[in-house]
Amino acid sequence: MGQAIYNILVFPGLFFLILFGWAAEFIDRKIYARGQKRVGPPWYQPVADFIKLAAKEDIVPEEASATSFKLMPLIAMASAVTAFFYIPLWTTEALFSFYGDIIVVMYLLTIPTLTFFLGGWYSRSLYSTIGAMRTLTQLFAYEVPLFVVILASALLANTWSLSEITKFYALHPHLWIFNLLGFGIGIIALLGKLEKGPFDIPEAETEIVAGSFTEYGGRLLAFFRLTLDIEVIVGASLLAAVFLPFGLNLTPAIGFVIYIIKVLFIVILLAVLRTILARFRIDQMLDFCWRYLAPLAFIQILINLLVKGLLLR
């Protein structure tokens, strides 16, 4: 019991996630700044932002539904943290695991996006309503390719559990090569899920102020920002577990270092993509995702079916 509480709250749970999320946000902002020939923020910037926001006044708009408005950041953070427990990190065994947890993780990672929509919708402001609608429209574009590539990887491993998938790829170390296309699609879809880079349409500052978060301030905004930081780590860990199955059977210390390197590699990749690409319009994004990303994801399924039929006899 005590061990479980320690695992959930401290390591590798909430506390570790928050620290790692802040580190990832700093790396992301620093790379973004260096890409623009700036110096960039100091290393403690995400911590200072969180402390400042947490110490500010909470304002709930008069028109907004107060309970839902205040509840949304907490639901978002709880679901993002819960998804983390089912992902295998530096061993082939996740903290908790059961047959079919891959579906649960995918849905838990969808809930923060839905809370961004509901939070924006309940604030009853014009900008947040537009942002909320864009969040939902974008969800339909990136979610299908992301689901399909992760399920394609599960198809090859012939299981519905994330721990079983990593066990399978640890046993067959060369099969990850066939999933490279899926990894690329996963990275692009993750950019959409995190509302970053070319897909930051729902919170486009130059068009709709701050999107869904326009009316959020103080502690509630601090929790939303923390949720986004945590989601980066959870999403990167998911992609690392499914597509980069290296160093899983080593000692925990070396495995942990390799896990950190894998996640940081994905975080840096996301930051570089965010720096070099300009924002799409929402219709261009939908067009791109449905016309190119989704068919490529189905090609990934085809590749995995062929590999399964020809190589894994």
Partner 1 sequence: MGLIKKIVTWGRTKSPWVLHFNTGACNACDIEIIAALTPRYDLERFGVLLKGSPRHADVLLCSGPVTRQIGDRLKRIYDQMPEPKFVVAVGTCACSGGVFKGCYNIESGIDQVLPVAAYIPGCPASPKAIIDAVVKLLKSLEES
Q: Where do contacts with partner 1 occur on this chain (CB under 8 A)?
A: 29, 33, 36-42, 44-45, 47-52, 54-59, 127, 205, 209-210, 213-218, 221
Contact 162, 86 (CB under 8 A): yes
Q: Which is nearer to partner 1, 142 or 223 (CB)?
A: 223
Specify the residue, 33 or 258, whose C-beta has the smaller distance to partner 1. Answer: 33
Which residue's CB is nearer to partner 1, number 23 or number 294?
A: 23
Question: DSSP labels for 157-208?
Answer: HT-S-HHHHHHHHHHSTTGGGGGHHHHHHHHHHHHHHTT-GGG-GGG-HHHH
Report the nearest approach of partner 1 to the CB of residue 137 (Å): 21
- Residue whose CB is less far from partner 1, 64 or 234: 64
Question: How many CB atoms neighbour CB 142 within 10 A?
Answer: 25
Neighbours of 39 (CB within 10 A): 8
- Determine the Cα–Cα distance for residues 156 and 309; give it in Å rounded to an integer: 10
Residue 214's identity, in one-letter code, is T
182-to-200, 209, 232 alpha-carbon distances in Å: 22, 34, 18
Whose Cβ is closer to partner 1: residue 37's or residue 174's? 37
User: What is the nearest approach in angstroms of partner 1 to the Cβ of residue 54?
Assistant: 8
44: helix, strand or coil: coil
User: Least distance (Å) from partner 1 to the CB of residue 35?
Assistant: 10
Report the residue number, 143 or 195, with the smaller CB distance to partner 1.
195
Tokens of 292: 């190119």
* Least CB distance to partner 1 at residue 215 (A): 6
Backbone torsion region of residue 218, taken as left when φ is above 0, otherwise alpha when ψ lies between -120 and 50, otherwise beta: left
Q: Which is nearer to partner 1, 34 or 172 (CB)?
A: 34
Tell the smallest beta-carbon distance from residue 269 to partner 1 (Å).
Answer: 22
Query: What is the Cα–Cα distance from 59 to 15, expressed in whole angstroms?
Result: 27
Q: Smallest distance, Å, CB 309 to partner 1?
A: 53
Q: How far is the CB of 200 from partner 1 (least distance, A)?
A: 13
Q: Please report, for residues 99, 281, 305, the alpha-carbon distance to residue 161 in angstroms, rounded to integers and kept in the order given.
A: 5, 36, 18
